[in-house]
Structure formats: C-alpha cells, structure tokens
Amino acid sequence: MIDFELSKNDKKVLDALREESLIARKYARFYDENEHEFPPQQLPEAKDHPSFIRQMADRTAEDSGGSVMSTLIAMGSTWGDYSVRLRRQESGLGNSALKAAGTPEQIEKWGKLTLAMAITEPGCGSDPSQVRTTAVLDGDHWVINGEKIFVTTGCRAEGVVVWATLDRAAGRAGIKSFLIEKGTPGFIVAHKEKKLGIRADDTAAYVFEDCRIPRGNLLGGNEEIPKEGSGGFRGVMKTFNMTRPMVAALGLGMAEAALDFTRDKLREAGVEIAYDGHIITQPAAAARFIELEAEFEAAKLTMLRAAWLSDKGEPNNMEASVSKAKAGTAVRVITQGCIALLGPLGVSREHLLEKWFRDVRITDIYEGTGEIQRMIIARTLLDYTRDELN
C-alpha cells in the first residue's frame, strides 16, 4: 500500500523550508534581471537560520524514504525560486550519474565535487544516442573532442560527466561517460547561455579540443563495447529514473507558488472558491481555478509514485517518464491558466507570476523532452523496441 502521509518531522522540515523559500523569493527578480550575476552560495539571511534545517531534511529523507522526501524538499525550494536558495546545494546532475554508475574508487575520488553532466550537442538534442563527441584511447589516456551545449550548472561545476562515443558505428552501445575536471587542458567553458527562463541558473556551452584525461576517468571503468544491448549507455540512462521525478518536483514547486498567489488574488477580488460545492455552481473563475488545482494534484501524485518505487528498489522507468511528461504539461497549463485568470496582474513584472510562467517551461525540455517521455511510455506499454516505435 502506498502511503504519502507526512510524519511530524517531515512537516517541520517542509515548514522550515517554506520560511527559507520566502526569503529566497525576495531576491528572485533581481537575479532574473541581472543574469550575468550568480546568486551567492549563501544569502545574508542564512546566518539567522541555523543549518540544522538541512540536517533535519537529510535525516528525514533516511527515515521516510529518500526519494519521496527529496522530491517534496525540491518542491519546497522552487516554491520560493528556481535558482536562488538560502543555501545552495553542492551537487549537480553529474553527481547522480556518478552515484548510479561509478566505481567505488570513482565515487570516493569525485563524490565531493560538484559535477555537471554534458549530453546535448549542437546537432544532438532529444536523442542522446546521436552523440558526436568522440573519445579515443591513446595509451593510458582518453582524448576527448567535441562540443556540448545547455550544460546545467556548467559554470559553477568543478567537473563534468561527458557523454562521448568510442565508435559511432556501434550506435548507443558505443557511448560512454567520462569524468573530466575543470582546468584540464583542452576543456574550454565557451560561454554562459542566455535563456527565456531560469535565467539566474548557470547553463554553459563546453568545447573539448584534444582534451586528455586518465584512462581511469571512464565512468564505471568498462571499456568494452557490447555486441548487443547498450552497455554504459543503458547504465547512465538509469540516472534519469532518479532525476526525472526530481525535475517534475522542481516545476511543480513553481506551479504551486502560482496557484497560491492566484488563490489569494481571487479572494481579494471577491471570488470565493467553495471546495465543498459542485463545480457547475461555482463562478467561472473559481471553476477554472479548481481545474488547475486538479492538474497540480494529478501531476504531484505521479511524481510521488515514481519516487516511492525508487525508494522500494523497484523498476520505475515508465513511472519516471510519466511523472516528467505529466508535470511538464501540467506546470505550463497551470501557470498560463493563472495568468489568464488574473489578467494584467499576471503579466506585471511587479509580481513573480510571469517569471514562474517562463521558468516552468524548462520542465518539459531538459532531461528528455515531453515527446521523448511519451515515446518511452508507449514503448513500455506496447512492448515495442526502439526500432519498432521511434
């Protein structure tokens, strides 16, 4: 039986996180409009908020199920702002890949660094099997050549997990991941990307020009290219089974903020939402708002189920895709619907609603677009191979 009832300790953590998020929200507009500046690792107000809140969160995650509580903590954080935190977390997507596929020695060596993950290329977006960055073995070193774009946390990260191909003719099976530290000769941070939303979040472009790294930097250590299956590609793709529910959580936190803001403004305007009444008896604005709340609850439940399966150690490949696909659509519909309900208030830069609308758009794009998620879901439900349904 699935039970998402929160313990008293869970509630304390999330309540404390709300307080932190309200502080972070005060800085959201500044860093949105000054995207050349990075939000600090710690806001000035952090000195008045003891770090035991994060320790409580970590302990609660262990007690109540790491993935479920982690998604709720992520939601609580982005309810304030996507990019600004009272205290920033010292990890990136590459850390999840390291945890999923790294050797014990690699985890020990690289685990304390902030690692980005570089997959997307100028000619390769939604289908990572088309990676063109190459890795060639030369004695005791790999030589990496290629370009990567839209690398999340790419400027702040101390290192990166790079997807490259050992043999393009081998397709997905030839793709491996490599650990590369910033400062390695031939590793160039080309520029910081300018974006529609999450503008304060650093997203970088990388160039690798004859970048030589030790042979042991191959993630997982397996150099063999299998004749069947997808080897290292499949192993690192499992990372997304953990992170896609987290992506859903990040978008849902902003969508919840939009709903809370809209509910307050509707009530100020005299629009009462009667949750115990029939929807057809509600004013049109209230009825539409209830529909948006229903979208939110449905998306949140898919996210929690995917996280719960992960905590149980059960397969969640399809459920992770369902959670991200549902959330990617829901958060866009919710924030757009909130803007429509509030009219001029919704698009005014005096409020954060228009920013949330821009920021949530990323939910449906990174770590596999909504279209890709629906293909994964269809293949799983219909028991089709990649070649039969693409």
CB contact set of 286 (below 8 Å; sequence gap of 6+): 266, 271, 272, 273, 274
Residue 256 domain-assigned (yes or no):
yes
Q: Mean pLDDT over residues 212-217, rounded?
A: 97
3-state class of 79 per DSSP? coil
DSSP 8-state class, residue 118: E
Angle at 115 between CA 111 and CA 121, to 5 degrees: 145
pTM for this model (two decimals): 0.90
Q: In the numeric block, which tokens belong to residue 169? A: 């003719």
pLDDT of residue 45: 93
Residue 130 has pLDDT above 90, yes or no: no
Give 275-305 pLDDT, tens digit per residue: 887 888 889 999 999 999 999 999 999 999 9
143 DSSP β-pair partners:
136, 212
Residue 101 domain-assigned (yes or no):
yes
Residue 339 domain-assigned (yes or no):
yes
Give dist(CA 346, CA 355) in Å, integer: 10
Q: Are residues 260 and 211 part of one domain?
A: no
Give 71-118 pLDDT, tens digit per residue: 999 999 999 999 999 988 778 889 989 988 899 999 999 999 999 999
Residue 175 has pLDDT above 60, yes or no: yes
- Amino acid identity, position 100: A
Q: Are residues 376 and 244 part of one domain?
A: yes
175 backbone dihedrals φ, ψ, rounded to 5°: -85, 130
Q: Are residues 150 and 13 part of one domain?
A: no
Q: Which CATH number is 275's domain given? A: 1.20.140.10
Q: Are residues 153 and 31 part of one domain?
A: no
Q: Which CATH number is 219's domain given? A: 2.40.110.10
pLDDT of residue 58: 55
Residue 86 domain-assigned (yes or no):
no
Confidence of residue 127 (pLDDT cuts 50, 70, 90): confident
Length of the chain counted residue by residue: 390
Window from 60-64, 111-115, 204-208, 260-264 with minimum mean pLDDT: 60-64
Q: Are residues 372 and 253 part of one domain?
A: yes
Q: Which of 208, 229, 250 is the last residue of a domain?
A: 229
Residue 390 domain-assigned (yes or no):
no
Q: Which of 229, 254, 276 is the last residue of a domain?
A: 229
User: Nearest CA to 369 among 325, 326, 316, 323?
Assistant: 325
Residue 165 domain-assigned (yes or no):
yes
Q: In the numeric block, which tokens belong to residue 45? A: 């107000």
Residue 54 has pLDDT above 70, yes or no: no
- Amino acid identity, position 233: F
Confidence of residue 364 (pLDDT cuts 50, 70, 90): very high
Q: Are residues 144 and 34 part of one domain?
A: no
Confidence of residue 124 (pLDDT cuts 50, 70, 90): confident
1 DSSP β-pair partners:
none
pLDDT of residue 95: 92
Q: From residue 267, give the alpha-carbon distance in Å to each of 262, 286, 290, 340.
A: 9, 10, 14, 16
Q: In the numeric block, which tokens belong to residue 240? A: 């997304």
Q: Are residues 357 and 268 part of one domain?
A: yes
Q: Are residues 194 and 246 part of one domain?
A: no
Number of domains in the chain: 3
Judge contact between 352 and 335, C-beta under 8 A: no
- Range 215-230 burial, b when 16+ CB lie within 10 A, else e: eebbbbeeeebeeeeb
Q: Mean pLDDT over residues 343-369, rounded?
A: 95
DSSP 8-state class, residue 364: G
Q: Which residues are catalytic?
A: 367
Show the domain range for 273. Answer: 237-382
Residue 347 domain-assigned (yes or no):
yes
- Alpha-helical (H) ranges within the chain are 8-25, 28-33, 52-64, 66-78, 93-101, 104-110, 231-237, 239-268, 284-311, 317-342, 344-347, 353-359, 370-382
Give dist(CA 196, CA 204) in Å, integer: 14
Q: In the numeric block, which tokens belong to residue 365? A: 């794009």
Q: Which of 50, 78, 106 is the last residue of a domain?
A: 78
Q: How far apart are the first and last CA of the chain?
A: 35
Q: Are residues 220 and 99 part of one domain?
A: yes
Residue 16 domain-assigned (yes or no):
yes
Q: Mean pLDDT over residues 205-211, rounded?
A: 98
Q: Are residues 268 and 376 part of one domain?
A: yes
Judge contact between 129 and 155, C-beta under 8 A: no
Give dist(CA 121, CA 132) in Å, integer: 8
Q: Mean pLDDT over residues 215-242, rounded?
A: 75
Confidence of residue 349 (pLDDT cuts 50, 70, 90): very high
E strand spans, 95-202: 115-118, 134-138, 141-152, 159-165, 175-181, 187-192
Residue 359 has pLDDT above 70, yes or no: yes
Q: Are residues 208 and 301 part of one domain?
A: no
Q: Are residues 324 and 254 part of one domain?
A: yes
pLDDT of residue 233: 63
Give dist(CA 360, CA 159) in Å, integer: 27
